[in-house]
Amino acid sequence: MKLALVGTGNMGQAIERLARQQGDEIVARFNTAHPLPIEADVSVLNKADVVLDFTLPHIVRAHIDAYCRWRVPSVIGTTGWYDQLDEVQRQVEASGAALLYAPNFSLGIALLKYALQQLLPLLERLSDYDVYLHEVHHTRKADSPSGTALMLAHLIVDGLSRKKRIETETQHGRIAPEALHVTSTRAGQVFGRHTIGICGPFDELTLEHNAYSRDGFAAGALQAARWLIGRRGFFSLDDMLNEWLLSKTNPS
């Protein structure tokens, strides 16, 4: 697999290291010192099979415009632009390009999400149990709350009728019972920790994902890139995982 890396920070470096171990080739690199020339033609990608973009929210939208124009498959790990998902989906589909996005490429987070989806129908019947969400990341994290935290929060609000909205601000008084409190901490070098607390009158259940390194995210991003090659359309990581699940339940 020939890869173009857009963003060669810590995440880009982890992807490159793991890609080389797997026998993949990095054929183009772009970063702050050598920005992606979005007005150029696709030749700037040096015949890459797929682009992996881990940059910043304020520039990724222009990058997506270029990927659609070039019709090159792109894996987008940048967060902070999800208020434009519908618009980007229409653009990708109209252009005949292929794009896969995820707020978190960790397969451990995918397992956490799956477990939460199974719990929510039960929690719907257990009205005494309240839910909160807390995330911790390193001090260089660009967005707060994290895209992963917001993804999990929306999953809870959509699946639990007594939670009507997400509240991300510090509470200086009583919080409304219909608000899901989502809080953030930025400290040190923490790769990423997401905790879902389910608090009942007599006990508390905690679901937590704690990333040891960026390699788990890099592995998931490379799996997504391999899956995306040869496809057309707008995808999330769920589409890849659901295809895997379907193939296991229907082996024929």
What are the residue numbers of the active site? 137, 141
Question: Residue 213 class from Cβ within 10 Å (0-12 exposed, 13-18 middle, 19+ buried)?
Answer: exposed
User: Could you tell me the two tokens for 219?
Assistant: 């592995």
Helix (H, G, I), strand (E, B) or coil at 14: helix
User: Which distant-in-sequence residues (6+ apart) come within 8 Å of 214 by Cβ?
Assistant: 10, 11, 14, 191
User: Could you tell me the two tokens for 231?
Assistant: 């496809």
Nearest to 76 by CA among 93, 90, 88: 88
**Cβ–Cβ < 8 Å for 88, 80:** no
CA 39 vs CA 19, 27, 66, 201, 212: distances in Å: 28, 19, 8, 59, 38
CA 112 vs CA 14, 107, 116, 236: distances in Å: 23, 9, 6, 16
User: Which distant-in-sequence residues (6+ apart) come within 8 Å of 5 by Cβ?
Assistant: 12, 15, 16, 26, 28, 29, 30, 51, 52, 54
Question: Rounded CA gap, 42 and 47, in Å?
Answer: 8
